[in-house]
Structure 1
Amino acid sequence: MNNEPVVHGKDFEAQVREMMAEDAYTIRPSSAPYPEIRRKGAIERRRRVAAAGAVLVALAAAPVGAYALSGNGGGGSVDTAAPLPSVSASQPTTPTPVQSKPVGPVGPATPGQLVDGITLAQAADGLKRCIAWERGNEKARGDKGPRTEVGRAADYRIILAMNSTGDSNAPGDGFFVVAVKEQQKAPQLTQLICNIREGEVGGLGISAGGKEFDNGGPVMPDINAGKLYQQSFIDKGNWKLPFRWGSIGRVEPSVARVTVSYGGSTSEAALDHGWFVATGTLNTQVTLAPHVLGYDTTGKVVYDSDTDAGYDKALP
């Protein structure tokens, strides 16, 4: 028979309360592992900073648009980059360069107008030297102003550049530069034929006049172009061969084609903004000037230098 006292009712309840009061401070939860939590938090922050850095690198390297990197929430790995066309990173804009006026002369209409390996840069440099040379002569003469308003190299169009052959009057080989300038404020044209020998100006011819044709035809060979297709009269009958020659002149818009025959061969002229330009190589001695023919769109001859009273057909 059990002799343990039996606790009933309020006595039992009081006993339980007493036991709980005695053990209130002995039964407590374990302290939180703050060092471990802090360490894990620091690792997580570093992982996120590294991921953010990877995003910035991807944005800087991406040529177009932006890319998003998404983690899987587990081991810190990232998914494949997915393009987001609607989201773009802020990119510094490059200012559009200001288009300034070209500092050099305009080149010819066709590549064939620069011959003998002469480049546009070389021709332009020769033109600048010629203009500087002329301005120096103006100062030496004491001119108050340029006689023909030479202007700047940038005002010109180069229509021909070719080798030049020295003769008894002008020894030393070099090259010719032919350039033209159209005055915008007045109906006037300026034409310049310059010879460069050994890097120096060996001769310069400048002419200026109105735009009208004074020979009555739709083609007008240039009256000063003789220096391009003949050698000095001192060497008459004893030219240096082969000889590079050129022929230039003006054409009206109705002229569709120009040919120039010289020394038994015919060259097709280039048409360049109202000018015709032809060149070739002479291998035989000649006594007659180049023969110029102009044609309209139907192929009809509308100009023949043989019938032009103002054209010198025989060489001096």
Structure 2
Amino acid sequence: MSDEQARERERDIEERVRELLAEDAYTIRPSPAPYPAIRRRGVVERRRRVAAAGAALVTLAALPVGAYAVGGGGGGGSSTGTPQSSVGATLSPTRAATPTPSATPSGPAGPATAGQLLDQITFAQAADGLDKCLAYNKGAVRHAGSVDLGTAEDYRIILAMNSTGDSNAPGDGMYVVAVQERPQRIRLICTLRNGTAEGLNTSVGDDGAPGAVSADINGGKLYQQSFLDKGHWKLPFRWGVIGTVKSSVSKVTVSYGDATSQAALDHGWFVASGLLKQQVTVAPHIKGYDAGGTLVYDSDQDESYEKTLP
């Protein structure tokens, strides 16, 4: 075979190899893995594992005195009332078996006293705010794999009040605080401005505090303005204090500024509020009493309680 014939044969072989490679390109380079479908399955599986383990979480922490008393209840907070915008409701000793007129089967339950809905905020407005907060959370679930917090009918609204804007979060708005007891305890504080949910602070599970009264560890956003505004708060300032109580506690008082508010007791939670008209540097002072009037908790004696503002 001549050199020319050999080169011709090599070219034929090379061309045939190219054809074979082109014909088998799909086998050599398979199509990309279906990443979106795999990710969706992974998110669903993570949710199942989190739900089974009952893991604690904090979701989207967003980011608050003249006397403005909230009517308190006896018997460890097992009393009910029709939520309205006024204060000083008379409480019955036990929670009614039927839902309050403001609570519907498709929405959240109402608070134990009318005074837990402040600043002329109606129950309908608070419930609408809660719906928007949960929708806000569902958006986070879709985009970041966060845990779905469920629907409004799983919750009871325990506080709704105006929020005061500050240097960290400009613009006044509204806070809605809601809790869920089953299958596990969930507390959420939602921030709304101009009718839109802008932030959601959520805690899951008991805080494990052994005391008869326990202030919410993340509840400071309800009674203080930004550290950036220290010494220069916008006044008057609507404040709120929330936390849990043992069944042995029949009365909780909260002193802030120059006034004392008696807290409402709402199924294991206490809720107090007031209107601050002066700058303060000391955190709210909380006291709890049993049915006989004996002091069973004093935040001044609680080493875990922050007694001064940052």
**TM-score bin, normalised by smaller chain:** 0.5 to 0.7
Q: Residue 134 of structure 1 corresponds to which residue in structure 2?
A: 137
Q: For the residues of structure 2 that align with 1:216 and 1:103, how far apart are their CA atoms? A: 35
Q: For the residues of structure 2 that align with 1:236 and 1:189, how far apart are their CA atoms? A: 33
Q: Residue 163 of structure 1 corresponds to which residue in structure 2?
A: 162
Q: What's the % identity of the aligned pairs?
A: 62
1:254 aligned to which of 245, 248, 253 = 248
Partner SS state of residue 293, structure 2: coil
Q: For the residues of structure 1 that align with 2:223 and 2:229, how far apart are their CA atoms? A: 14
- The CA deviation at 1:298 is 0.9
Deviation digits for residues 103-161 of structure 1, max 9, x if unmatched? 110000000000100001000000000000011012112x1xx43x4111110000000
Contact preservation (8 Å) 1:126, 1:196: yes
Ranges in structure 1 where 5+ consecutive residues have no aligned partner:
1-100
- The CA deviation at 1:225 is 0.4
2:204 aligned to which of 195, 201, 208 = 208
Q: For the residues of structure 2 that align with 1:121 and 1:310, how far apart are their CA atoms? A: 37
Q: Residue 263 of structure 2 corresponds to which residue in structure 1?
A: 269
Contact preservation (8 Å) 1:215, 1:308: no
- The CA deviation at 1:310 is 1.4
RMSD of Structure 2 on Structure 1 (CA): 1.4
Q: For the residues of structure 1 that align with 2:303 and 2:133, how far apart are their CA atoms? A: 33
Runs of 4+ in 1 over 6 A off after TM superposition: none
Q: For the residues of structure 1 that align with 2:221 and 2:240, how far apart are their CA atoms? A: 9
Partner SS state of residue 178, structure 1: strand
- The CA deviation at 1:215 is 3.0
Deviation digits for residues 208-235 of structure 1, max 9, x if unmatched? 013xx63321111100100000000000
Partner SS state of residue 174, structure 2: strand
Q: Residue 181 of structure 1 corresponds to which residue in structure 2?
A: 180
1:117 aligned to which of 120, 130, 154 = 120
Contact preservation (8 Å) 1:118, 1:162: yes
Q: For the residues of structure 1 that align with 2:305 and 2:156, how far apart are their CA atoms? A: 25
1:234 aligned to which of 217, 228, 232 = 228
Q: For the residues of structure 2 that align with 1:214 and 1:153, how far apart are their CA atoms? A: 26
Ranges in structure 2 where 5+ consecutive residues have no aligned partner:
1-103
Q: For the residues of structure 2 that align with 1:218 and 1:150, how far apart are their CA atoms? A: 28
Deviation digits for residues 250-283 of structure 1, max 9, x if unmatched? 0111101000000011000000001000000000
Q: For the residues of structure 1 that align with 2:244 and 2:251, how far apart are their CA atoms? A: 12
Deviation digits for residues 148-177 of structure 1, max 9, x if unmatched? x41111100000000000001101101100
Q: Residue 304 of structure 2 corresponds to which residue in structure 1?
A: 310
Partner SS state of residue 222, structure 2: helix
Q: For the residues of structure 1 that align with 2:197 and 2:166, how far apart are their CA atoms? A: 16
Q: Residue 25 of structure 2 corresponds to which residue in structure 1?
A: none
Indicate whether 1:194 and 2:190 are aligned.
yes
Q: Residue 45 of structure 2 corresponds to which residue in structure 1?
A: none
Comparing both chains, which one has the higher relative contact order based on Cα–Cα distances under 8 Å and sequence gaps of 6 or more? 2
TM-score normalised per structure 1: 0.64
- The CA deviation at 1:202 is 2.1
Q: Residue 99 of structure 2 corresponds to which residue in structure 1?
A: none
The one-letter amino acid paired with 1:102 is P
Q: For the residues of structure 2 that align with 1:235 and 1:284, how far apart are their CA atoms? A: 14
- The CA deviation at 1:204 is 1.1
The one-letter amino acid paired with 1:266 is T
Q: Residue 153 of structure 1 corresponds to which residue in structure 2?
A: 152
Rg larger in structure: 1
Q: For the residues of structure 2 that align with 1:313 and 1:131, how far apart are their CA atoms? A: 32
Q: For the residues of structure 1 that align with 2:193 and 2:266, how far apart are their CA atoms? A: 26
TM-score normalised per structure 2: 0.65
